[in-house]
Structure 1
């Protein structure tokens, strides 16, 4: 069945349909009916936590159009105005804040690339480096909570989504720090003369949108509201997503920074993106249910424990497999497929499923930087209007930083399980 799935994907069958066809081709052999496919898909999509996905996508669209993204860039610029290579740090921090609200890597790349990419080019950065930094910093959209892939993993494996959000906080900050270190080391090599060029209009005035101090404070209150609501227990992730979307909507309306027609377009685009993800979720659930009925996850767990006698070796093999899967599969589909497949085997080795979930998502997100799928690369090249090849040439340093951070998270579980040392338990 897994072989059939990869054949369908290689010949270009849409992801959701490929998952369902892999089941239907062998429906008679496994006594799977069309009613089973329909009912399983419906049951999956009625899962309450999944409602957070289209809502976070909508909040990202409204933030980008309503001016919150510009205000976040303004705030980041003030923090790093002292640096000789400030705009690169601004892009990383703004991507982190954007991701901490929307939970989407590609959304962070698109929004921050449009806001900061042109400014970096004006200041003398090589175009390929701008695209590479934009694509890499976009990973923070998923590695910092809330995270759409972690919502999917938690729902598929049956672990607390709020705890997953806590667990990914320190790894996400570690990735942000690693990107900033790489930028500090590389800036003089990718800038004309080694320092940023002066421009007539500062980044702040270019990105602030003229909304004043009140607009900046209102924009910065949004991540505090969303993340504070989740971690305090006042809001579930789904409720926080709805609060984020409403906040972004009212901000855009009260700030008068977007026309009603643009608001309608934002809703349409968010609905289309959300529907595409939910379509994949529905049919990957059918595929995963078929795997469970055939006891394939249990067989993989038994096989791995028969030939691998160390959790350290298992984690190494799992990382290699997940990195490969991330190169060829869409993020949501890969999470929903590999989570139920590998999590039972990880538990057999005494690996915490929360820790393994962070490892899995990091691996699959690195796939957004590695062709052929590499969605972040393509979006960064598009929004920054630069060729793909120069972008890829500048990517090695950031990929290296990602792999070092992945190794640390994998073999130092306390990085992900830091919350266990808190005086209160989530």
Structure 2
């Protein structure tokens, strides 16, 4: 097993993509140890993909791409501006609210930064915000995406652990909202001394403003109904997660075509993009299943669980150790890959300590997605640097207060299970 770890770490250091790291390291281990014939490799790769619920991943990705292509992003920003944009520092709050709304469409943080950054960062800079601060707000608030349903990381955890995806979606909603609200409070504090340009005077009467707000809400509602349809259908038992993903694609197409903002000629490009993203995740899933099979054969999950139990019989000490591990792993591994690798190893130990698998899913996903904001391999960090035209050093420094607040929120939901479990227990 030391050889497997050595190959795994060595390939990571060389910069090999995580899917190939998993597959190559495990295959080399099988060859050198002879515990199974090489014919087992393609069999286990296929077995990892032979799950009906995996079909939902490309459809969820496609639905988010369709809604973005249908120009719903700018409409969500406009609606958020109607809510909080009139006050001093309002544009920073608009940024956060837009990320919360957008997260309910895509379920991915990277899509949030890439879509909202080019719109909001220049607008914030024009109003007097520092570019590094504007970029930091955009990057930090994007963390709502992987938590608010439909969350791709929650879906990956549900597939890996066999946990109810509907319950995971509901459990992730409260941490996602809490992250957004904490960003609103922090922004209010950080902008207090910034020399910002005051919002322009409101010349319309209250009746005209009300009509404008209602019109903006009506358009934004089409986008905001996406997570309601997905989560409501799954939780209500009307559709399975896979069927809800197909329903989301159909809904996005109907909305985009009826508003005439989605051009049929753009469909092929969107399909190709969704296929490439989905294939990346599927490769990770297949290779991780091969690794998981070897780990199970070598009884590594049981050994890890026994090791934790021998180390301490206190579930909260165990939780502290897991949190530290997740925050460190999140610095170096891509979120979906890390979830697939760690779930079969840590979940048996968590169950032995009496943790609810849904609550542990929140702990695992939340802890790992924080790594999206931090070097050395934080995807949102690098996308933010590109979109905001700032250096990693500038953005990392500007992100520090946001990361501190997000970690504080994370600890609350990790140590208070009812904070995330009350909603799934109420509705399921």
Q: TM-score, normalised by structure 1?
A: 0.91
Q: Is the 8 A contact 1:301 1:344 kept in 2?
A: yes
Seen in structure 2, the aligned counterparts of structure 1 residues 120 and 233 have a Cα distance that, compared at 3 Å, is farther
- The CA distance in 1 between the partners of 2:352 and 2:216, in whole Å, is 55
SS of the aligned residue for 1:416 comes to helix
SS of the aligned residue for 2:145 comes to helix
Which residue pairs with 2:398 in the alignment?
394
Partner of residue 287 from structure 2, selected from 283, 286, 292: 283
Instruction: Describe the superposition over 1:302-331 as per-residue Cα deviations: whole angstroms up to 9, x where unpaired.
Output: 011101221111000100111110000011
**CA RMSD across the alignment:** 2.1
- The CA distance in 1 between the partners of 2:341 and 2:81, in whole Å, is 40
1:213 Cα offset (Å)? 7.0
Which residue pairs with 1:6 in the alignment?
9
Which residue pairs with 2:252 in the alignment?
248
Instruction: Describe the superposition over 1:278-304 as per-residue Cα deviations: whole angstroms up to 9, x where unpaired.
Output: 111111111111111111010000011
Q: Is the 8 A contact 1:125 1:196 kept in 2?
A: no
For structure 2, list consecutive stretches of 5 or more residues without a partner in the other structure: 203-211
Q: Is the 8 A contact 2:60 2:248 kept in 1?
A: yes
Q: Does 1:125 align with 2:121?
A: no
Seen in structure 2, the aligned counterparts of structure 1 residues 368 and 100 have a Cα distance that, compared at 3 Å, is same
Q: TM-score, normalised by structure 2?
A: 0.91
Seen in structure 2, the aligned counterparts of structure 1 residues 177 and 287 have a Cα distance that, compared at 3 Å, is same
Q: Is the 8 A contact 1:101 1:244 kept in 2?
A: no
1:30 Cα offset (Å)? 4.5
1:218 Cα offset (Å)? 2.8
Which residue pairs with 1:410 in the alignment?
414
- The CA distance in 2 between the partners of 1:212 and 1:184, in whole Å, is 25
Q: Is the 8 A contact 1:123 1:198 kept in 2?
A: no
SS of the aligned residue for 2:305 comes to helix
- The CA distance in 2 between the partners of 1:10 and 1:218, in whole Å, is 45
Q: Does 1:377 align with 2:402?
A: no
- Superposition map of 1:165-176 within 5 A: 165-176=169-180
1:97 Cα offset (Å)? 1.6
Which residue pairs with 2:192 in the alignment?
188
Q: Is the 8 A contact 2:46 2:286 kept in 1?
A: yes
Which residue pairs with 1:296 in the alignment?
300
Q: Does 1:85 align with 2:125?
A: no
1:396 Cα offset (Å)? 0.8
For structure 1, list consecutive stretches of 5 or more residues without a partner in the other structure: 201-207
Which residue pairs with 2:207 in the alignment?
none
1:345 Cα offset (Å)? 0.7
1:47 Cα offset (Å)? 1.3
SS of the aligned residue for 1:53 comes to helix
Seen in structure 2, the aligned counterparts of structure 1 residues 388 and 278 have a Cα distance that, compared at 3 Å, is same
Q: Does 1:142 align with 2:129?
A: no
Q: Does 1:345 align with 2:352?
A: no
Which residue pairs with 1:45 in the alignment?
49
Q: Does 1:313 align with 2:290?
A: no
Which residue pairs with 2:73 in the alignment?
69
Moved more, 21-30 or 169-178: 21-30
1:222 Cα offset (Å)? 3.0
Q: Is the 8 A contact 1:52 1:241 kept in 2?
A: yes
Which residue pairs with 1:23 in the alignment?
26
- Superposition map of 1:172-251 within 5 A: 172-189=176-193, 191=194, 193-194=195-196, 196=198, 198=200, 215-251=219-255
Which residue pairs with 1:205 in the alignment?
none
Moved more, 164-173 or 112-121: 112-121
Seen in structure 2, the aligned counterparts of structure 1 residues 145 and 108 have a Cα distance that, compared at 3 Å, is same
1:116 Cα offset (Å)? 2.1
Seen in structure 2, the aligned counterparts of structure 1 residues 212 and 167 have a Cα distance that, compared at 3 Å, is closer
- The CA distance in 2 between the partners of 1:229 and 1:283, in whole Å, is 31
1:124 Cα offset (Å)? 1.5
- The CA distance in 2 between the partners of 1:380 and 1:294, in whole Å, is 41
1:227 Cα offset (Å)? 3.0
Q: Is the 8 A contact 1:57 1:274 kept in 2?
A: yes
1:81 Cα offset (Å)? 2.8
- Superposition map of 1:105-124 within 5 A: 105-124=109-128
Aligned residues: 413
